[in-house]
């Protein structure tokens, strides 16, 4: 009889694929939403809830972006001379470029948008939206790095370059949505 629990009593997870081959999923993060830190959705996939949250000032959604989330980095710790290192933590990152013009609420609205989040990340939660309609989040306790980029020639375009970082070991399980965010509407 073992003195210590080996952890072998943990049940295996259910399988997630079938024998018919691999069906790849489309990629790309095309919008990032920010919520007030104390705001909760009943259903993150509900269009009426998003419209009400945006109208009430509890949520705001970026313009369309070019974004991606590479593999996170992991913190490892040696806890025994005879065992491999253990993963004890992780950091996730989303990188994005925003090529939108500031024309909805004045010439500096894109800068005001990103500067507000940059200066006050603890006041907000982030939600990532992918091109295939999935929502990842909300993500709490993140940091934002963001700045404007002005390339060398007039053949290139100015843009906002940024990244969102947060500590989390587990992967976020996304939720399929059918949301539409109309940046030209009176709601946003």
- Give the model confidence (pLDDT) of 45-73 as tens digits: 999 999 999 999 999 999 999 999 999 99
Q: What is the pLDDT of residue 107?
A: 75
The arithmetic mean of pLDDT across residues 169-178, rounded, is 92
Residue 39 CB-density burial (10 A; 0-12 exposed, 13-18 middle, 19+ buried): middle
Rounded to 5 degrees, φ, ψ at 92 are -105, 150
Q: What is the mean pLDDT of the chain?
A: 88
What pLDDT, on a 0 to 100 scale, did the predictor assign at position 101? 80
pLDDT at site 19: 66
Which pLDDT value is given to residue 12?
77
Q: Is the per-residue pLDDT at 183 higher than 60?
A: no
Look at 124-128, 145-149, 175-179, 182-186 and tell me which has the smallest mean pLDDT.
182-186
Return d(Cα 66, Cα 74) in angstroms, integer: 25
Identify the pLDDT of residue 22. Answer: 78
With cut-offs at 50, 70 and 90, classify the pLDDT of residue 88.
Answer: confident
Q: How many CB atoms sit inside 10 A of residue 139's CB?
A: 21
Q: Give the per-residue pLDDT at 62.
A: 93
CB count in 10 Å sphere of residue 40: 11
Residue 113 preceded by cis peptide, ω within 30: no
User: What is the mean predicted confidence (pLDDT) over 110-128?
Assistant: 95
Residue (of 128, 65, 68) closest to 99 by Cα position: 65
Contact of 85 with 77, CB cutoff 8 Å:
yes
Overall average pLDDT of the 99-111 stretch: 77
Q: For the whole model, what pTM was predicted? A: 0.85
Q: Residue 16 — very low, low, confident or very high, per pLDDT cuts 50/70/90?
A: confident
Q: Once rounded to an integer, what is the mean pLDDT over residues 156-175?
A: 94
User: Quick one: pLDDT at residue 5?
Assistant: 63
Sign of CA dihedral 61, 63, 64, 69: negative
SS (H, E, C) 56-74: CCCEEECCCCEEECCCCEE
Q: What is the pLDDT of residue 17?
A: 72
**Residue bearing the bigger pLDDT, 13 or 153:** 153
């Amino acid at each position: 009889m073992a003195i210590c629990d080996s952890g072998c009593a943990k049940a295996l997870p259910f399988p997630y694929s079938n024998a018919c081959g691999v069906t790849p999923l489309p990629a790309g993060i095309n919008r990032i939403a920010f919520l007030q830190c104390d705001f909760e959705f009943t259903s993150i996939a509900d269009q009426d809830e998003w419209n009400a949250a945006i109208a009430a000032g509890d949520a705001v959604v970026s313009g369309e972006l070019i974004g991606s989330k590479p593999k996170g980095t992991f913190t490892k710790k040696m806890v025994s001379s005879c065992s491999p290192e253990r993963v004890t933590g992780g950091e996730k990152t989303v990188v994005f470029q925003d090529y939108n013009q500031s024309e909805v609420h004045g010439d500096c609205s894109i800068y005001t948008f990103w500067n507000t989040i940059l200066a006050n990340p603890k006041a907000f939660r982030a939600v990532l939206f992918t091109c295939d309609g999935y929502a990842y989040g909300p993500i709490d306790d993140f940091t934002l790095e963001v700045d404007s980029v002005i390339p060398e020639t007039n053949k290139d375009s100015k843009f906002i370059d940024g990244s969102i970082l947060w500590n989390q070991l587990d992967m976020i399980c996304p939720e399929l949505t059918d949301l539409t965010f109309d940046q030209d509407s009176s709601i946003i």
